[in-house]
Chain A
Amino acid sequence: MKDFQQEKHYVFPVIALLAAILFGITGVQAQSGLSAQQSPGEWPTYGANLASHRYSPLEQINADNFKDLEIAWSLKTDFLGPRPDGLYSATPLYVNGVLYTTAGQRRAVIAMDPATGEMIWMHSENEGARGTAAARQGAGRGLSYWASEDGTEEYILYVTPGYRMIALDAKTGKLVPSFGDNGVVDLKLNFDQDIDPVDSNIGLNATPLVVGDVIVVGAAHRPAGSMESTWDTRGYVRGYDIRTGERLWIFHTIPLPGEFGYDTWEDGSADQNGNAGVWSQLSADAELGLVYLPVEMAAADYNGFNRPGDGLFGESLVAVDVKTGERRWHYQTVHHGMWDWDLPCAPILFDMEMDGRIIKALAQPTKSAFLFVLNRETGEPIWPIEERPVPQSESPYEKSSPTQPIPSWPQPFDRQGISRDDLNDLTPALRAEAEQVIEQYAMGPLYTPPAVQREGGPIGTLMLPADVGGANWPGGSFDPETNRLYIHSHTAVFTLRNIPADLEPFNPGPDGEMANRPPAGPPQGLGPRPGGLGAPGGLRPRFGIFLQNSIPLIKPPYDRITAYEMNTGEILWQKTHGTTEDNIRNNPALAGVENIDRLGSYGRIFVGTLTTGSLVIAGEGATHTNESGDTVALLRAYDKDTGEDIEGRVEMPARQTGSPMTFMHEGKQYIVLAVTHAGANAGGELIAYSLP
């Protein structure tokens, strides 16, 4: 454990008084109980406020001067871990004149001077084998801030890769002795399940959520798409007392016998399954006293053999009492999932105006490109959500759900299901090639299940949105002045693997003796020569859902930002976001084709939007080469009313991998975001932009 600090004294204004004064000036208090945490120039929690608006009213940076943005300072984070961070996804916090963030492969915490990037203090935990075995490594999404009502005590709290919750004094970076065990709560303990302290598959890279004097902590597992292991650590959620670190409550995302929802797992299969964690960010309504938990899938991402039934609370949004953890309501967005469509991001809470009334609502984006819009007090849909029949699995072991909940409104923000109409038609030759490629695959509407491996059968099942979305962990942003919601999504074809013909359900047994069985070895006789590899190119065209080596099978756009008017649910505008990547742009098959400079970024593109007083801001999730030969990704801004591009070409040295935030410090507005360099020189970098 390293503890670096400088001796400095700060005089902090009383936060509550400051907030009260500032609320009188701005219109931010229009949303009841939602913006109480945020003063206009600050960013005190991951989502800007507990409603996850990712919004700031600041307008010093605006449409007229966005083009003048310069890098104020930047920080490469390699030195904070044993090797560079491969995906830097944190969003810093700005409170009381200090910028705080996690950084580096070991998830160090740093407090910085916001104007210069100078380090004030740093805290790092070397967790040894427990850290190396961690389910979620790297800097994660960041950290959380808490202050006592009189402002004299301030904590920075975060969850380490080794799944320990740490409280640091925000002024000094020292562990808070009164919190847990000298500043540390071991989250692998007191978990209602016995797990190995080093090797257990549980951790977190999301930030915990501070609601009043309670801190709520989720759970995540190693990212993996296993077909076969279902016995795993269960991803329960817990609430702790912020002053003492005492566990206040636990919510069983997979119910125990006798608990509500246990019967939605047939044959007692709830006992045989793990996962169903909450790896996403959370939202809360402090007035209602509710915290909203977006739950992921139960174990086995691509089949449900070992969990017949709907399986609450997998893929459900659950509202629990922030003080007791008791479930108030839940809404399942996918029944008996087989598509890895975990709920990936915090729901956005907002006060809807409909027919002269105010309705306390929320919008939950999904990987599958839906917005589930619900009453956040009761969980009732605002607009009808219909249980519609969906294709059924052909596997004799899969009891697929006969229906899935389909929101009738709003319209989805990205393409769902895949058909011939989706094929790339940039040229007739590409279209013809695409038609040939798809003959070897199955494809169909949303919720087409995976096929079973068979002789002469499809290589796999094409799927839109992909298993990673649609939307993903960045979620969306919101403008409380106008009740508009903004969300980035990407459009990329995923190939859902066939279910192996010899895969059968297995009962892990009471001791989990078949736990985490390694996947079967390579299939025999991949190619024309039995026992050999066959021609180079692997299972091409199996992964070859690219035409001419690099052009996507489907037509553009490949990523977009959608703006919704949330009082009516209408889509206000939709814009293609990213510049076309080099390997598509320069492919000879597109020679002579016009208007291909901005087709959107193709692939697993995870981009968060920031909404300000006048702009929607987001960086590109992929790089391209500019006219000078440099590898760049643009930081883009849009008029939040019309979606028009704001003039200016702000070039970042790498792709955005952390959602941007903004704040005002000593009269100057900054935009800060995390980017990650790829390839041999991979590593994370934190960049701060401001006006000259």
Chain B
Amino acid sequence: MKLSKFALVQALAVFVLAVPAVSGQTDLGSSVLKGAYTEEQALRGQALYYQHCLVCHGEMMSGLDQAPPLAGPQFSSIWNGETLWALVDRINTMPPTQPGSLSRQENVDVLTYMLWYNGLPLGSKPLTTEKDLLTAMTFVTP
């Protein structure tokens, strides 16, 4: 259930931030909260966003007309606790008139721009494009 998964992630995130010594695969939320993408990647994502996404989702990701927000509580309330792979999978269906038109790398880059826009910190390593690894990472907002 969404709530319990969210609560678990949030609890873990708080725990992880308070106790830096904890590490390992069980810290579901820690990686996005500790820097999961690079600025260079997010800048690429930004360029892609402006080219493919902005016209419907808006410069401020607040949504326009029928397209939903991609940042802020209306986005995080739906996606908190979901895997990064689920987000990449969704981005891959966009834009609706050209689903699957962006490469995996491009989809991931767009996601990193969204992570930046949602206030998640920059890191020293780029976000992976591998499905298995993305499935092990969870979207949480700070």
Contact = CB atoms under 8 A, between A and B. Distances in A.
Q: List the 6 shortest-distance A-B pairs measured between CB atoms, nearest first.
A: A538-B117, A680-B86, A550-B73, A225-B64, A223-B66, A223-B65
Interface stretch (A131-139, A397-405, A640-648): A131-139
Contact of B65 (A225, A582, A629): A225
B121 A132 contact: no
Contact of A536 (B78, B83, B120): B120
Interface in A321-377: 340
A336 B102 CA distance: 37
B73 to A, nearest CB: 4
B65 A679 contact: no
A518 B51 contact: yes
Interface string A595-611: 00000001110000000
A543 B76 contact: no
15 contacts: A132-B97, A137-B96, A224-B67, A225-B55, A301-B64, A543-B61, A549-B73, A550-B76, A582-B77, A584-B73, A603-B74, A625-B3, A630-B3, A678-B78, A680-B82
A320 to B, nearest CB: 26
A467 B122 contact: no
B97 A533 contact: no
Nearest to A228: B55
A448 B73 CA distance: 26
B97 A134 contact: yes
Contact of B116 (A222, A467, A497, A533): A533
A468 B65 contact: yes
Contact of A533 (B39, B50, B96): B39
Interface stretch (B17-25, B40-48, B124-132): B40-48
A537 interface: yes
- Which of A135, A224, A495, A538 has the most chain B CB atoms inside 10 A of its CB? A538
B1 to A, nearest CB: 5
Given A132-B99, A604-B68, A540 B119 contact: yes
A14 interface: no
Interface in B43-90: 43, 46-47, 50-51, 54-56, 58-69, 71-74, 76-79, 82-83, 86, 89-90
A536 B122 contact: yes
Contacts of A602: 74
A83 B89 CA distance: 11
A413 interface: no
Chain A residues touching B, majority SS: loop
B77 A537 contact: no
Interface string A432-468: 0000000000000000000000000000100000011
A134 B98 CA distance: 10
B107 interface: no
B1 A630 contact: yes
Given A222-B97, A536-B119, A679-B86, A519 B54 contact: yes
Interface of A: 82-83, 87, 132-135, 137, 222-226, 301, 340, 460, 467-468, 494-495, 497, 518-519, 521-522, 532-533, 536-540, 542-544, 546, 549-550, 581-584, 602-604, 625, 629-631, 678-680, 682
Contact of B2 (A223, A226, A542, A679): A679
B71 A543 contact: yes
B30 interface: no
B33 to A, nearest CB: 11
A132 B119 contact: no
B80 to A, nearest CB: 8
B4 interface: yes
Contacts of B86: 679-680
A532 B39 contact: yes
Interface range on chain B (Cβ under 8 Å from partner): 35 or more
Given A87-B66, A495-B62, A536-B117, 19 more contacts: A133-B98, A222-B56, A223-B64, A224-B64, A225-B55, A460-B60, A519-B55, A533-B42, A538-B71, A539-B60, A543-B61, A543-B71, A582-B3, A582-B77, A583-B76, A603-B69, A631-B1, A631-B3, A680-B89
B116 A536 contact: yes
A333 B37 CA distance: 48
Contacts of B76: 550, 583
A533 B115 CA distance: 12
Given A538-B61, A539-B60, A521 B47 contact: yes
Contacts of B117: 536-539, 543
A559 to B, nearest CB: 13
A133 B95 CA distance: 10
Contacts of A460: 60
Given A223-B67, A533-B42, A679-B2, A583 B97 contact: no
Contacts of B60: 460, 495, 497, 538-539, 542-543
B3 A521 contact: no
A12 B58 CA distance: 51
Contacts of A546: 72-73
A67 to B, nearest CB: 24
A226 B59 CA distance: 11
Contacts of A584: 73
A122 to B, nearest CB: 23
Contacts of B97: 132-135, 222
B55 A543 contact: no
B61 A629 contact: no
A580 to B, nearest CB: 12
A599 to B, nearest CB: 13
A420 B76 CA distance: 28
Given A536-B119, A631-B3, A581 B66 contact: no
A549 B54 CA distance: 22
Nearest to A161: B96
Nearest to A630: B1
B13 to A, nearest CB: 14
A679 B79 contact: yes
A679 B4 CA distance: 15
Contacts of B3: 582, 625, 629-631
Given A225-B55, A630-B1, A679 B78 contact: yes
Given A629-B4, A679-B2, A604 B77 contact: no
A603 B65 CA distance: 12
Contacts of B55: 224-226, 519
B73 A604 contact: no
A497 B73 contact: no
A679 B77 CA distance: 9
- Which of B60, B83, B117, B141 has the most chain A CB atoms inside 10 A of its CB? B60
B43 A533 contact: yes
Nearest to A201: B97
B103 to A, nearest CB: 18
A679 B83 CA distance: 10
A372 B54 CA distance: 33
A604 B68 CA distance: 8
A329 B132 CA distance: 61
Contact of B77 (A222, A226, A583): A583
A33 B94 CA distance: 46
B47 A536 contact: no
A566 to B, nearest CB: 30
Contacts of B2: 625, 631, 679
A606 to B, nearest CB: 9
Interface string B102-142: 00000000000001111111100000000000000000010
